[in-house]
A and B are shown apart, each in its own frame.
Chain A
Amino acid sequence: MSSHSSSPEPSYIEYQGKYKGIFAWILSTDHKRIGMLYLYSIMTFFIIGAVLGLLMKFELIAPGKTVMEPQTYNAFFTLHGILMIFAVVIPGLPAVFGNFLLPIMIGAKDVAFPRLNLFSWYVYVLGIILVVISQFAGEGPPDTGWTFYAPYSFRTAGNMLPAVLGAFVLGFSSILTGLNFIVTMHRMRAPGMGWFKMPLFPWTLYGTAWIQLLATPVVGVTLLMVVAERTLNIGFFDPSLGGDPILYQHLFWIYSHPAVYIMILPAMGAISEIIPTFSRKSIFGYKFMVASTLAIAFVGYFVWGHHMFTSGMSGTALYTFSILTFLVAIPSAIKVFNWISTMHKGSIDMQTPFYWAMAFIFVFMVGGFTGLVLGSLAANVHLHNTHFVVAHFHFIVFGGTGFAFFAAMHYWFPKIYGRMYDTRWANTGLILFFIGFITLYMPMFYLGYMGMPRRYYDYDEVFHGGNIISSMGAWVLIAGVAVIIINLFRSAKHGPKAVADPWGGKTLEWTVPSPPPVENFEEIPTVTKGPYDYSQD
């Protein structure tokens, strides 16, 4: 042990292995380097997706043609959806922060299968390449929306096959990451860390990993069926071949609804780390937080039908899905109550990650409550497929997962880079982001209520006002994103050096140096206390 302290292990950033330059990263099996590979890939696609969204908002600022043709608009919302869902939000927190932090937070040196972990990233890149090919090869980019609904997806001349195969391949990356995390948590927790001493972020990764492992194959099979139908004319979904388009919707949403929980559970986990740290207080109701995570992961499998209330299902199926949709909201409500109660009688240090967590709670509540509106059968019939739905899921997926991603980024940034960011710029970015976000998406609830259908390139004059406000929100939002990313980018290079535990966190990642050494721990720690034990302070 003493020999180590005289020559400390190099950090994962400085470490010189077999390979040099970029190969030292893209051939590394270190979970931290792989996490960073995902971070840079995801940020790249997030920026592309955001720019596509911004251009769509330019188009919608006035009725009629503004900047693009309808075919371009249809291709843009398709690519925006595919990139944001499959390449950004689904891998999102698990692939970046899960990879980087899960082993450290449970006191392990790496994940269970480090090579499989690197392979998952390559599978991810291959999936992206296929999606990119679909844009430039064949008879023009896909224009079906990210849902690929049959039978339109068989009629369009757009280059569907590579896009569908791309989504299929991206699914494998997700399955492999899930498998890796499950085994890691079962087998590699530090001595003394029983299941109920595990921090909440790993717990949400655990729930997420099971969804990735069990639900993703369903969409894989479904997308393969689309490929078989398009190439071999086997009639699964196209009525002109004897298939059933509703079957496609069932299979698609059996995966894609649980996928929403893949996106939001780790987001909740990150928030559950941040709030105790800055309140200097144990999380309120730890076991209820764990139970609600597992409840969401479980009940989330059984609510897919609420995407199809107007598609055509038996009445019994419809109200069963409706009631389950209401019930799946309860564990999320429990989480919100526990977060707020954690602040009660705490000693709250108002830092950037905590501001992000507060903003997350607000936008997540708006997303959750409007989800209840959509779960209500009579309300859904009117609001389904309108801008109300678009606003709702952007509040959950971008508001929920996106805010939590930036919260996590500002929380673990000093750990990851060993440097601190400029707080003033970080807070400015947050304020712009928040104002832009609300201005962009709030009017869309109103537009949907007024009856503006989604995926509309052009619209009637009654919807004009709401669209102007919404488009202007997009500009503010993008400005916020730019400030945040530039600040983090600069600080990663030039920020002041950070200590091992800048926030006073209690989980294991704060016990190792910033940035962490290659092997994480000189000696695997023995855990005796709960993850948020502030009782000695």
Chain B
Amino acid sequence: MYSTTGIEASNFVSSFDTAFFSVIGISILLLVGITVLMLYFVFKYNRKKNKVAEHIEGNTKLEIIWTIIPTLLALGMFYFGWAGWHPMKNPPKDGITITTIARMWNFSYLYENGKQSAELVVPVGMPVKLKLISVDVLHSVFIPAFRVKEDIIPGREKIMWFIPQKAGVYDLYCAEYCGLQHSYMSSDLRAIPQEEFDKWYTDTTALASTVDESVPGAAGFVIMKTQGCNACHSSDGSKIIGPSYLGLWGKQHIVVRDGQDVLVTVDSAYIRKSIYEPNAEIVKGYQKGLMQSYDKVISEDDISKIIDYLKTLEE
């Protein structure tokens, strides 16, 4: 049912090309034609050659012709645009569904079997449906190579779909302005053959196997990477959006709570609160309202692993 023989990256490339190049082609012809005609008139009827203008007020027949012909052309252009777009709105029943969670400023992908990934891994030749969820502001999934884009609206659940047709690594950008790090909100899309995908997908131990339990904090590091914490918090002391993790554990710093400056010590209770109620206390010098609660996203158990990781970052 789904052709995978095409060399195009996705099933929507050719319909975009038809719509785009039909309009561009006609437009370039008209643009060149009208410009040349204008230049010809300007030379031919220059005052130096043509001292007296002819008195002409108009021509109704011409007006009707140049109303009807552009209207027909425009309707034709509309048709190609509609025809290419219509299937985008009608996702097939089969295929895999991947929940795409967007937040300032990263994407994370949740598969049906509970597997989480910071990279969008998809099988070639299979319809992929992305269930789009935003936890904060507007974002937009834009995959230029696939010619698809759909905005992500907080409070709404939306679906976009495509069939990857060629294996490869593609860029996926956020295309709806979402604040400071908007231009860094991107992720890789890796389209791989079905068998390879099956192996990747069923390997739910992948997480555990790459984590060497003997290294302290390794599990916590993987959790934070998957959740995209490092988009805003560095591990090397540099200031991005939020405070760095370097030397954070056990440190005393001033936070603003209900407009009051309060001195707190970074302990387990503080870390837990910072993850579940990030806006209750804001470290002095940082902005409020940028981080969303990770309640029900990061479990209590995972928080203790994160704390193990933070302990490794003492200065």
**A interface with B by C-beta (< 8 Å):** 70-71, 74, 139, 143-145, 149, 151-152, 155-157, 239-240, 244-246, 279-282, 284-288, 310-312, 315, 318-319, 322-323, 326-327, 329-330, 333-334, 336-338, 340-341, 343-350, 358, 361-362, 365-366, 369-370, 372-373, 375-386, 449-451, 453-460, 534-535, 537
Given contacts A151-B154, A322-B81, is CB(A347)–CB(B53) below 8 Å? yes
Given contacts A358-B38, A369-B31, A451-B142, is CB(A378)–CB(B153) below 8 Å? no
Q: How many residues of B contact A (CB 8 A)?
A: 84
Q: Is the CB of A152 within 8 A of B138?
A: yes
Q: Is the CB of A345 within 8 A of B45?
A: yes
Residues in A neighbouring B62, C-beta threshold 8 A: 285, 337, 341
Complex Cα distance, B65 from A215, in Å, reads: 33
Q: How far is the CB of B143 from chain A (nearest CB, A)?
A: 8
Rank and list the top 7 A-B pairs by shortest CB-CB distance, nearest first. Answer: A451-B144, A378-B84, A239-B155, A376-B81, A369-B27, A377-B85, A378-B19
Counted as pairs of residues, one from A and one from B, with CB atoms less than 8 Å apart, the total is: 271
Q: How far is the CB of A311 from chain B (nearest CB, A)?
A: 5
In the complex, which residue of chain B has the Cβ closest to the Cβ of A325? B78
Q: Is the CB of A456 within 8 A of B183?
A: yes
Q: How far is the CB of A140 from chain B (nearest CB, A)?
A: 9
Residues in A neighbouring B81, C-beta threshold 8 A: 322, 375-380
Complex Cα distance, B37 from A341, in Å, reads: 10
Q: Is the CB of B153 within 8 A of A372?
A: no
**B interface with A by C-beta (< 8 Å):** 12, 15-16, 18-20, 23-24, 27-28, 30-31, 34-35, 37-38, 41-42, 45-47, 50-59, 62-63, 66-67, 70-71, 74-75, 77-78, 80-86, 88-89, 136-138, 140, 142, 144-145, 147-151, 153-156, 158, 171, 173-184, 287-290
Q: Is the CB of B57 within 8 A of A378?
A: no
Residues in B neighbouring A459, C-beta threshold 8 A: 183
Given contacts A143-B180, A330-B74, A346-B53, is CB(A372)–CB(B174) below 8 Å? no
Complex Cα distance, B137 from A378, in Å, reads: 25
Residues in A neighbouring B41, C-beta threshold 8 A: 340, 343-344, 346, 348
Q: How far is the CB of A387 from chain B (nearest CB, A)?
A: 11
Q: Is the CB of B289 within 8 A of A322?
A: no
Given contacts A157-B289, A280-B53, A366-B31, is CB(A379)–CB(B16) below 8 Å? yes
Q: Is the CB of A340 within 8 A of B34?
A: yes
Can you sample 22 A-B contacts with CB below 8 Å?
A143-B180, A155-B290, A240-B155, A281-B53, A285-B58, A312-B151, A318-B85, A333-B70, A334-B70, A346-B53, A362-B38, A370-B27, A372-B23, A373-B27, A379-B23, A381-B16, A381-B88, A382-B147, A455-B177, A455-B183, A457-B182, A534-B55
Q: Is the CB of B176 within 8 A of A385?
A: yes
Complex Cα distance, B136 from A459, in Å, reads: 24
Residues in A neighbouring B148, C-beta threshold 8 A: 381-382
Residues in B neighbouring A365, C-beta threshold 8 A: 30-31, 34-35
Residues in A neighbouring B70, C-beta threshold 8 A: 329-330, 333-334
Complex Cα distance, B313 from A18, in Å, reads: 76
Partner of B80, one of A349, A366, A376: A376
Residues in B neighbouring A451, C-beta threshold 8 A: 142, 144-145, 171, 173
Residues in A neighbouring B20, C-beta threshold 8 A: 373, 376, 378-379, 382-383, 449
Q: Is the CB of A152 within 8 A of B74?
A: no
Q: How far is the CB of B205 from chain A (nearest CB, A)?
A: 34
Q: Is the CB of B42 within 8 A of A350?
A: yes
Q: Is the CB of A381 within 8 A of B149?
A: yes
Residues in A neighbouring B27, C-beta threshold 8 A: 369-370, 372-373
Residues in A neighbouring B24, C-beta threshold 8 A: 369, 373
Q: How far is the CB of B293 from chain A (nearest CB, A)?
A: 11
Q: How far is the CB of A67 from chain B (nearest CB, A)?
A: 15
In the complex, which residue of chain A has the Cβ closest to the Cβ of B52? A347
Complex Cα distance, B60 from A284, in Å, reads: 10
Q: How far is the CB of A367 from chain B (nearest CB, A)?
A: 11
Complex Cα distance, B234 from A511, in Å, reads: 72
Residues in B neighbouring A337, C-beta threshold 8 A: 62, 66
Residues in A neighbouring B46, C-beta threshold 8 A: 348, 350
Given contacts A239-B154, A340-B38, A377-B85, is CB(A369)–CB(B30) below 8 Å? yes
Partner of B45, one of A343, A358, A458: A343
Complex Cα distance, B265 from A359, in Å, reads: 67
Residues in B neighbouring A152, C-beta threshold 8 A: 137-138, 177-179
Residues in A neighbouring B178, C-beta threshold 8 A: 152
Residues in A neighbouring B80, C-beta threshold 8 A: 376, 378
Residues in B neighbouring A377, C-beta threshold 8 A: 19, 81-82, 84-85
Q: Is the CB of B150 within 8 A of A279?
A: no
Q: Is the CB of B55 within 8 A of A281?
A: yes
Complex Cα distance, B12 from A328, in Å, reads: 27
Complex Cα distance, B71 from A425, in Å, reads: 42
Q: Is the CB of B53 within 8 A of A345?
A: yes
Partner of B140, one of A322, A378, A385, A535: A385
Residues in B neighbouring A155, C-beta threshold 8 A: 136-137, 179, 289-290
Given contacts A244-B155, A386-B175, A453-B173, is CB(A310)–CB(B150) below 8 Å? yes
In the complex, which residue of chain A has the Cβ closest to the Cβ of B85? A377
Beyond known contacts A319-B78, A372-B77, A386-B142: 5 more, CB 8 A cutoff: A345-B53, A346-B53, A347-B47, A372-B23, A378-B84
Complex Cα distance, B34 from A344, in Å, reads: 13
Q: Is the CB of B140 within 8 A of A151?
A: no
Partner of A327, one of B45, B74, B176: B74
In the complex, which residue of chain B has the Cβ closest to the Cβ of A327? B74
Partner of B74, one of A288, A344, A372: A372
Complex Cα distance, B41 from A306, in Å, reads: 36
Residues in B neighbouring A341, C-beta threshold 8 A: 59, 62
Partner of B51, one of A347, A381, A534: A347
Complex Cα distance, B63 from A152, in Å, reads: 48
Residues in B neighbouring A382, C-beta threshold 8 A: 16, 20, 144, 147-149
Complex Cα distance, B175 from A266, in Å, reads: 33
Q: Is the CB of A385 within 8 A of B142?
A: yes
Given contacts A285-B63, A347-B50, A376-B19, is CB(A70)–CB(B83) below 8 Å? no
Q: Is the CB of A379 within 8 A of B53?
A: no
Residues in B neighbouring A71, C-beta threshold 8 A: 180
Q: Is the CB of A284 within 8 A of B56?
A: yes
Residues in A neighbouring B45, C-beta threshold 8 A: 279, 343-348
